[in-house]
Amino acid sequence: MESVEHLGEMGDTITVARGYARNYLIPQGKAVLATEGHRKMVAEHMKLETKRDDLRRAGAEELAAKLGELSCTISAQAGDDDQLYGSVTARDIADALKKDDIEFDHKMIVLDEAIKQLGVYSIPVKLHSEVEVTAKVWVVKP
C-alpha cells in the first residue's frame, strides 16, 4: 500500500515473516495480503496516488519557480577562530526563513550535519522528492 524503506516500493509483492506482516505491516496500513481482490484494490490505489503525487510535484515546481533563490542570515556567537559556540541546525534555518514569510518544515531542509563555522553555505531544500531549491545561508557574528 505504501513504500517501506529497505523492504519495497508501493505496489510490490514481497514475502515477509508472518509476525512482521501481522504485527506491523498490516496494522499500520502499509501492506495487505496478496489476494486477487487486494491486488485490484492496490492497483486502483496506485493510480490515485500517482495522480496525487503529480499534483504535489506540480505545486512544488510552481513554488520553486516563485521562490527562486532563497537566502537568510543567521547570527550566532562565535570565537576568534570563527568556530561557533553552538551550531546551526535545519530548524534554525527554517526559523530564519519563516521571518522572511517563507514557511518550510525543517525536515525539508537537507543538512548532512549541523553548521559549526561562520561562513556562507548553500543548503538544498527538498520541496518534493523530485523538486529541490537551494537556500544560501549566511552565518555571521551578531
What is the SS3 assignment for 109? Answer: strand
Which residues contact residue 116 at a Cβ distance below 8 angstroms, ignoring those fewer than 6 apart?
A: 83, 84, 87, 88
Residue-wise pLDDT tens digits, 58-93: 988 988 887 778 888 999 999 989 899 999 999 999
Rg for the chain (alpha carbons), in Å?
21
Residue-wise pLDDT tens digits, 18-66: 999 999 999 998 999 989 998 898 889 889 989 999 999 998 898 888 7
CATH, domain 69-140, list 2.30.30.790, 3.40.50.620, 3.10.430.100, 2.60.120.200: 3.10.430.100
**For position 102, what pLDDT does the model report?**
79
Cα–Cα distance for residue pair 114/52, rounded to 1 Å: 33
Residue-wise pLDDT tens digits, 123-133: 999 988 889 99
Q: In the chain, where are the structural domains located?
A: 69-140
Cα–Cα distance for residue pair 47/28, rounded to 1 Å: 21
Asked if 115 and 50 count as a contact pair (C-beta separation under 8 A), the reply is no
